[in-house]
Amino acid sequence: MTLPIEGNLTLVLAVVFGSIFGMLLQRGRVANYDVIINQFCFRDFTVLRVMLTAIVVGGIGVYALHQFGLAQYHIKPANMLAVVSGAALFGVGIVLYGYCPGTGIAAVGTGSIHALVGFVGMLFGGIIYALSFSWIETNILAIASFGKIRLPAITAISDPYWLGALLILAVILFRFLDRTKLFEE
């Protein structure tokens, strides 16, 4: 059997991997409105702990796999006007909705009816985006567009140093958060 797997088996694996992801979001307490809102209010750092740990562990492993030719990178293009304005809207939306797309879908599975209402809102937002795509493509996506660039390429600091720095930063931050009483967790 050669990797990556292709064909119909990937459809079964999609459900398996998705289920593991949904289970992890639920058990990690991030499919929870209060936990996400309290992150943005600096009262609960669960979201940052989960995300930063996933980035560091995932980043080191995927870099190693990439070095051995077992994994390919999938870099999203740095269309900077679109990324910045999209992220800005996303930040407003995540606090109103109380979930991001993945945790929202997981939250529906835990019985959250308002997450389901927001899911319909997400479909509405997706339809509006698709209908305005032609205009956005020429007037926003094309502005300040630098292609599929990575931090090592634009900084002359190589991958191991970036990942090492992230690891050290995460450990220092987590030790501080676990011990401090500042945020009354």
Partner 1 sequence: MSNSRFMRSYIVGAAIGILSWVVYVVVNAPIGITTALSEVAGAAAVPLIGTEAVAANPYWAKTIPAWDYGTLFLVGTFVGALLSSISEKTFKWEFVPATWKDRFGDKVAPRFFAAFIGGAFVMFGARLAGGCTSGHGISGSLQLAVSSWTFFLVMFVTGILTARIFYSTSSKSTKEDL
Q: Kindly identify the residues of this chain, within the stretch 21-50, that bind partner 1 according to CB under 8 A.
A: 21-35, 37-38, 40-44, 46, 49-50
Please state the closest distance from residue 66 (CB atom) to partner 1, in A.
8
Among 142, 150, 172, 180, binds partner 1 (CB under 8 A): 150
Rounded to 10°, the helix 46-67/159-179 angle is: 160
Q: Which of 78, 168, 169, 173 binds partner 1 (CB under 8 A)?
A: 78
Nearer to partner 1, 15 or 156 (CB): 15
Please, which residues have CB within 8 angstroms of residue 29's CB and are 6 or more apart in sequence? 35, 46
Q: Could you say whether residue 142 binds partner 1 (CB under 8 A)?
A: no
Q: Is the separation of the CB atoms in 118 and 99 below 8 Å?
A: yes
**Pick 34 or 168: Cβ nearer partner 1:** 34
Half-sphere exposure in the Cβ direction for 49 (13 Å, CA): 17
- Binding letters toward partner 1, positions 105-134, x by CB under 8 A: xxxxxxxxxxx-xxxxxxxxxxxxxxx-xx
Number of residues counted as binding partner 1 (CB under 8 A): 130
DSSP code at position 138: I
Least separation in angstroms between residue 140's CB and partner 1 is 7
> Counting contacts by CB under 8 A, is residue 61 touching partner 1?
yes
Residue type, 125: G
Angle at which helix 9-27 crosses helix 101-109, to 10 degrees, equals 80
Residue 161 makes contact with partner 1 by CB under 8 A:
no
Q: Of 67, 84, 143, 176, which lies in the binding site for partner 1, with binding defined by CB under 8 A?
A: 84
Alpha-carbon distance 59 to 67, whole Å? 12
Task: Decide: residue 105, CB within 10 A, 0-12 exposed, 13-18 middle, 19+ buried.
Answer: buried
Residue 3 binds partner 1, judged by CB under 8 A: yes
Q: Which CB sits closer to partner 1, 89 or 172?
A: 89
